[in-house]
Chain A
Amino acid sequence: MTVIGWVQIALYCAILVALAKPLGWFITRVFNGERTFLTPVLRPVETSLYRLAGIDETREQHWLTYATAMLVFHVAGFLFLYALMRLQAALPLNPMEMSAVAPDLSFNTAVSFITNTNWQNYGGESTMSYLVQMLGLTHQNFLSAATGIVLAVALIRGFARASAQTVGNFWVDLTRCTLYILLPICIIYALFLVSQGMPQTLGPSVEATTLEGAKQTIAVGPVASQVAIKMLGTNGGGFFNANAAHPFENPTALSNFMQIISIFAIGAAMTNVFGRMVGDQRQGWAILAVMGVLFVAGVAVTYWAEARGNDAFTALGLAGGNMEGKEVRFGIVASALFAVVTTAASCGAVNAMHDSFTALGGMIPMINMQLGEIIVGGVGAGLYGMLLFVVLAMFVAGLMVGRTPEYIGKKIEAREVKLAMLAILVLPLMILGWTAVAVVYPTATASMANAGPHGFSEVLYAFTSQTANNGSAFGGLTGNILFYNLTGAISMLVGRFWMIVPAMAIAGSLAAKKSVPASAGTFPTDGGLFIGLVVGVILIIGGLTFFPALALGPIVEHFAMTSGTLY
């Protein structure tokens, strides 16, 4: 570890915290339907969309209608994307003449992109036409991100309102989020990325003759427009197979820094949106502080582990940390930071191969996802995931003093706690359940690229990443077989919607409650005690649930690595 490395990390954190407030202010105004500087340009587009679609923007929805609208919208997205991949050979904008994507792979990929996971059992430049990348994948990156954000806003309204029957209008929220927040930022961001060297062309791959006279086919494409939303919307699906490690998908140190900022920007700002909407910004800062504590701890461990390097390399006289699977322009610190950020959020883009990280360096990304991606988390999804843990933490606190817990003036009762548990239980069910099936199924174990505990880690990582809707991978695992395509798709669907529907039910039930004024017995939820309590609950639940599995994978591998055992 170096001083300059820590300076990069500190600079990153400072910029994020500084961005949270102005961005939170802007997002709040958009969802409250207030005027912003974009209103003169976008308002006519917005109203004409409502007219076409027959939407009355003043009419709000019950949580059940809101959730149904969301689900119907996703079914449409799934069918469209699946058809697009199956038919790509017959459609335009396919200069490299890619053939139709296989049915199981199309199924997995369609589910992957509608759930904001972007797990990829394919290499983009060798599988997908430009039309699929733009009309299918770029477009779903916008919509799945917008969905996450609007659901978080609906849950926040649940806390903010009293004795209300509605939580907002899904269609209005979705349209505003896409038009006012995601699209304008992406336009500027994509052009910045091109300036750094990211291609944006519809031309075919370039044929080059290298200095030594060999042929080199260089894949290009409309990369920047997709990468902008891939990062900002915490989607993470790469245009190229190597994702943000590819020099075209992340050309410079500056493009890299902007990418990791854009992963966290909206997620961090959502805590501020929460604070503003419930009328006390300190509540938002307290939540961001919980996230911050867990984040910095994760960065420290991964950075330390990667800088310390692989003992087997040290034995060969190699100094300078674990550079296998990392790019020189990013080095150890920017690769470690990226890995922690991308898994703390539900992004899943990678600028280094997590499979080649040291055992402990690769364990932190896994833990980040297993905790439910609540450390800033996916856009919107991180906040509603975190609020589920807050509900549990307040319940635990209530038990300790024998008082009905309250949060933001709302009584947390049996219904909310049950719904929160229902959502949180989905993680171990899918992750541990499918991993257990996979390790005793020979066809599944044959997909492992590494022997010993690392092979187990590859499978554990795959189901962790898909259930948590992350999308990053220990990429050695051959995921494009029927078993992983199907089980993975189930994990992604359950991981997304089994989380969303209970969260929406909590939103509805909270909105309907009366607001209780704070009294001397109210537990203050903007201070150090609250932060410590929530961190504790998160670590205890995550620790108790996943420690045994981690012990079989990365932890045992760490001791194998330090004692010189190879597999």
Chain B
Amino acid sequence: MLRQIRPALVLFVALTVITGLLYPLAITGIAGVIFPRQAQGSLIERDGKVIGSELIGQAFTEDKYFHGRPSATTGPDPQDSTKTTAAPYNASNSMGSNLGPTNKSLIERVKGDVEKAQAENSAAPVPVDLVTTSGSGLDPHISPESAMFQVPRVAKARNIPEERLRVLVQEHMESRLAGILGEPRVNVLALNLALDQGAR
């Protein structure tokens, strides 16, 4: 056993340096040169200020914006730092609701969100992704149905024709890769940015 100590220690140190330092630092260096935007987090700037990341959802509550999905992320309670409180789209603490399928509070929450969505928009059936939390709490996307569902509300708040908005949603629709992989979706932040740009 003692004869194994030298190889164990030397190989451990050497492989630690190779896989734990040289490898990640090399990837950081190369990625920073060939994919600088992605390596920094695909950030979006407007007027020189960072307004978010293309890949990270934001909380939208105003009627004039398309809303994302509910988010289960939490953050420290400002009143009591030992507790946490709901903080939707907290991008420094990703998490899902972890509520099971027979959990009363899940079903009550979804029921409340369905009623709220129908009151704000229309009595049409609500797309399921609009009333369920995502796995990360940071989902940047909604389904095309969820975007279309919100068109009347946003059109009214912005006082623009619904038809124009539908075209805009269509333009922002991302389809399956090669027609096979993934699901059709709309990036909420990108859509809302386009809305604001159109309004200027």
Closest CB in chain B relative to A474 CB, distance in Å: 7
Q: Is A327 located at the chain interface by the 8 A CB criterion? A: yes
A76-B8, A175-B11, A328-B134 known; A194+B176 contact, CB < 8 A: no
Q: Is B21 located at the chain interface by the 8 A CB criterion? A: yes
- Nearest residue, chain B, Cβ from A229: B19
Closest CB in chain A relative to B193 CB, distance in Å: 7
Selected from A178, A183, A252, A313, the residue in CB contact (under 8 A) with B128 is A313
Q: Could you tell me if B28 and A208 are in contact, using CB atoms closer than 8 angstroms?
A: no
Q: Could you tell me if B102 and A8 are in contact, using CB atoms closer than 8 angstroms?
A: no
Q: 0/1 per residue, B7-33, Cβ < 8 Å to A?
A: 111111011101111011011101110
Selected from B30, B59, B141, the residue in CB contact (under 8 A) with A214 is B59
Q: Could you tell me if B30 and A191 are in contact, using CB atoms closer than 8 angstroms?
A: yes
Q: Is A206 located at the chain interface by the 8 A CB criterion? A: yes
Q: Could you tell me if A328 and B35 are in contact, using CB atoms closer than 8 angstroms?
A: no
A72-B1, A212-B61, A242-B96 known; A138+B23 contact, CB < 8 A: yes
What residues of A have a CB within 8 angstroms of the CB of B24 in the complex? 134, 138, 222, 225-226
Q: Is A209 located at the chain interface by the 8 A CB criterion? A: yes
Q: Could you tell me if A80 and B96 are in contact, using CB atoms closer than 8 angstroms?
A: no
Q: Could you tell me if B60 and A212 are in contact, using CB atoms closer than 8 angstroms?
A: yes
Q: Could you tell me if B177 and A320 are in contact, using CB atoms closer than 8 angstroms?
A: no
Q: Could you tell me if B21 and A135 are in contact, using CB atoms closer than 8 angstroms?
A: yes
Q: Is A52 located at the chain interface by the 8 A CB criterion? A: yes
Measured in the bound complex, the distance between the Cα atoms of B178 and A8 in whole Å is 11
Q: Is B49 located at the chain interface by the 8 A CB criterion? A: yes
Q: Could you tell me if A216 and B95 are in contact, using CB atoms closer than 8 angstroms?
A: no
Q: Is A58 located at the chain interface by the 8 A CB criterion? A: no
Measured in the bound complex, the distance between the Cα atoms of B182 and A351 in whole Å is 13
What residues of A have a CB within 8 angstroms of the CB of B185 in the complex? 328-329
| Interface size range on A against B | 35 or more
Q: Is A400 located at the chain interface by the 8 A CB criterion? A: no
Q: Could you tell me if B134 and A53 are in contact, using CB atoms closer than 8 angstroms?
A: no
Q: Is A355 located at the chain interface by the 8 A CB criterion? A: yes
Q: Is B119 located at the chain interface by the 8 A CB criterion? A: no
Q: 0/1 per residue, A224-242, Cβ < 8 Å to B?
A: 1110010000000000111
A195-B38, A331-B182 known; A208+B50 contact, CB < 8 A: yes
Selected from B1, B57, B58, B60, the residue in CB contact (under 8 A) with A68 is B1
Q: Is B39 located at the chain interface by the 8 A CB criterion? A: yes
Q: Is B150 located at the chain interface by the 8 A CB criterion? A: no
Q: Could you tell me if B142 and A328 are in contact, using CB atoms closer than 8 angstroms?
A: yes
Measured in the bound complex, the distance between the Cα atoms of B70 and A550 in whole Å is 31
Q: Could you tell me if B89 and A178 are in contact, using CB atoms closer than 8 angstroms?
A: no
Closest CB in chain B relative to A288 CB, distance in Å: 24
A206-B50, A313-B128, A330-B183 known; A218+B56 contact, CB < 8 A: yes
A139-B20, A196-B38, A320-B129 known; A49+B14 contact, CB < 8 A: yes
Q: Could you tell me if A206 and B53 are in contact, using CB atoms closer than 8 angstroms?
A: yes
What residues of A have a CB within 8 angstroms of the CB of B142 in the complex? 328
Measured in the bound complex, the distance between the Cα atoms of B134 and A351 in whole Å is 10
Measured in the bound complex, the distance between the Cα atoms of B193 and A351 in whole Å is 27
Measured in the bound complex, the distance between the Cα atoms of B23 and A324 in whole Å is 37
What residues of A have a CB within 8 angstroms of the CB of B18 in the complex? 178-179, 183
Q: 0/1 per residue, A8-43, Cβ < 8 Å to B?
A: 100100000000000000000000000000000000
Q: Is A470 located at the chain interface by the 8 A CB criterion? A: no
A72-B8, A191-B27 known; A242+B95 contact, CB < 8 A: yes
A328-B129, A355-B100, A566-B107 known; A251+B55 contact, CB < 8 A: yes
What residues of A have a CB within 8 angstroms of the CB of B99 in the complex? 324, 355-356, 449-450, 476
Q: Is B111 located at the chain interface by the 8 A CB criterion? A: yes
Q: 0/1 per residue, B104-132, Cβ < 8 Å to A?
A: 10110011001000000000011111011
Q: Is A318 located at the chain interface by the 8 A CB criterion? A: yes
Interface residue ranges of A191-221 to B (CB < 8 Å): 191, 194-203, 205-212, 214, 216-220
Selected from A254, A318, A328, the residue in CB contact (under 8 A) with B141 is A328
Selected from B39, B43, B98, the residue in CB contact (under 8 A) with A356 is B98
What residues of B have a CB within 8 angstroms of the CB of A142 in the complex? 15, 19
- Nearest residue, chain B, Cβ from A210: B58
Q: Could you tell me if A449 and B52 are in contact, using CB atoms closer than 8 angstroms?
A: no
| Interface size range on B against A | 35 or more
What residues of B have a CB within 8 angstroms of the CB of A321 in the complex? 128
What residues of A have a CB within 8 angstroms of the CB of B6 in the complex? 53-54
What residues of B have a CB within 8 angstroms of the CB of A560 in the complex? 102
Q: Could you tell me if B138 and A246 are in contact, using CB atoms closer than 8 angstroms?
A: yes
Closest CB in chain B relative to A478 CB, distance in Å: 10
Q: Could you tell me if A194 and B91 are in contact, using CB atoms closer than 8 angstroms?
A: no
Measured in the bound complex, the distance between the Cα atoms of B20 and A94 in whole Å is 15
- Nearest residue, chain B, Cβ from A352: B135
- Nearest residue, chain A, Cβ from B88: A214
- Nearest residue, chain B, Cβ from A123: B93
What residues of A have a CB within 8 angstroms of the CB of B176 in the complex? 4, 253
Q: Could you tell me if A312 and B43 are in contact, using CB atoms closer than 8 angstroms?
A: no
Q: 0/1 per residue, B71-105, Cβ < 8 Å to A?
A: 00000000000000000011111111111111110
Q: Could you tell me if B43 and A208 are in contact, using CB atoms closer than 8 angstroms?
A: yes
What residues of A have a CB within 8 angstroms of the CB of B131 in the complex? 318
What residues of A have a CB within 8 angstroms of the CB of B196 in the complex? 211
Q: Is A565 located at the chain interface by the 8 A CB criterion? A: yes
Q: Could you tell me if A73 and B125 are in contact, using CB atoms closer than 8 angstroms?
A: no
Selected from A136, A224, A316, the residue in CB contact (under 8 A) with B114 is A316
Measured in the bound complex, the distance between the Cα atoms of B19 and A210 in whole Å is 37
Q: Could you tell me if A211 and B38 are in contact, using CB atoms closer than 8 angstroms?
A: no
What residues of B have a CB within 8 angstroms of the CB of A214 in the complex? 58-59
What residues of A have a CB within 8 angstroms of the CB of B34 in the complex? 191
Could you write out 13 A-B pairs with CB less than 8 Å apart? A138-B19, A199-B39, A212-B65, A218-B56, A312-B101, A318-B127, A325-B135, A353-B135, A355-B100, A449-B99, A452-B102, A475-B98, A566-B104
5 interchain residue pairs of minimum CB distance: A253-B182, A245-B135, A139-B20, A476-B98, A331-B183
A residues at B contact (CB < 8 Å): 4, 7-8, 11, 49, 52-55, 65, 68-69, 72-73, 76-77, 80, 123, 125-126, 134-136, 138-139, 142-143, 171, 174-175, 178-179, 183, 186-187, 190-191, 194-203, 205-212, 214, 216-220, 222, 224-226, 229, 240-242, 245-248, 251-254, 256-257, 309-310, 312-313, 316-331, 334-335, 350-353, 355-359, 449-454, 457-458, 474-476, 557, 560-561, 565-567
